[in-house]
Structure 1
Amino acid sequence: MTAAYAYPKSRFEPAAPVDLTAKSERERLSGSALKAFFRLAAAWELRDEEARELLGGLSSSAFYEWKKNPQRVLEVDRITRISYLIGIYKALHILHGDKLADEWVGLPNRNVIFAGRTPLAYMQAGGLLAMQTVRKLLDARRGGL
């Protein structure tokens, strides 16, 4: 007879994942997500065109309206994009000093994933899945892999 391994009980209750399909959750998160995105874009010194592309190809007029008034309800895709970008920003600031962390997305990278391009160019070309890949890469580096 083999005993099944049981994980020890945690003193913390697991948090339920955020349901981004619920409009109330998107309403709660959208304003702060956009404010964080615009601060990140400033720290990374992104041109407006680059920032619009990271948001999924937003028009110029919508971009400037969002920048002026970030209180709106974002779609699941845009909140997810911003979430990945914030995670990338955070991971970079854990891995590197502030200067390199903010420059990293704009520097050519020899990692096979980027093929000599900048991480920014990679994410612009690959969209949401590329952002997910960059986030996973940086999280793996943070974990010492």
Structure 2
Amino acid sequence: MATAAHSGVPAKAPSRKDLSGPALRTFFRIADAWGLKEAEQMKLLGLDSRSTFQTWKRGAVAAIPKDALERISYVMGIYKGLKMLLPRTANEWVRKPNEAPLFAGRPAIERMASGNVADLYVVRQYIDAQRG
């Protein structure tokens, strides 16, 4: 069990509030690196409301829902995996047509931005499997 530095007291797990700001900042940096459109970003985050999206983008939110944190976690894992697999072309990969059965000739972003968190999960699993 993790403990707070030298105190012998178990470390407190970070709350959604603690994670929300850093998670959103990281997500928006990845979205910029990938050249994602606003609509794609909203789908990845599981949002329907543009005003909520804009609030999150400004960082004016105390805590985002657990579902959004899960989605961001998958996006971060995909990003990291791609950087390991394709250091020079990782950011372009999401837009390139992909012949793998999972993508059926379409770019990965189409699958990822379906709005379904399960699609983020399967793309993350695909990237992890490619890494071996």
Distance 1:131 1:122 in 2: 8
Say whether 1:52 aligns with 2:42.
yes
Paired residues of 2:30 and 2:79 also in contact (CA < 8 A): yes
- 8 Å contact 2:47–2:53 — kept in the other structure? no
Unaligned runs of 5+ in 2: 3-13
Letter of the structure 2 residue corresponding to residue 140 of structure 1: A
Q: Where do 5+ consecutive residues of structure 1 fail to align?
A: 1-12, 15-23
For residue 125 of structure 1, report the CA deviation from its aligned partner.
1.9
1:57 Cα shift? 2.8
**Residue 68 of structure 2 corresponds to which residue in structure 1?**
78
- Who is 2:120 aligned against? 131
1:112 matches 2:101:
yes
Contact 2:74/2:121 (8 A) holds in 1:
yes
Q: How many residues align?
A: 122
If the length of structure 2 is used for normalisation, what is the TM-score? Answer: 0.85
Following superposition, which runs of at least 4 residues in structure 1 exceed 4 angstroms of deviation?
none
Could you tell me the TM-score, scaled by structure 1's length?
0.78
RMSD: 1.9
- Code of the aligned partner of 2:95: G
Q: How does 1:1-145 map to 2 (within 5 A)?
A: 25-98=15-88, 100-125=89-114, 127-143=116-132
Q: Structure 1 residue 142: deviation in Å?
A: 1.1
Alpha-carbon contact 2:55-2:61 (below 8 Å) kept: no
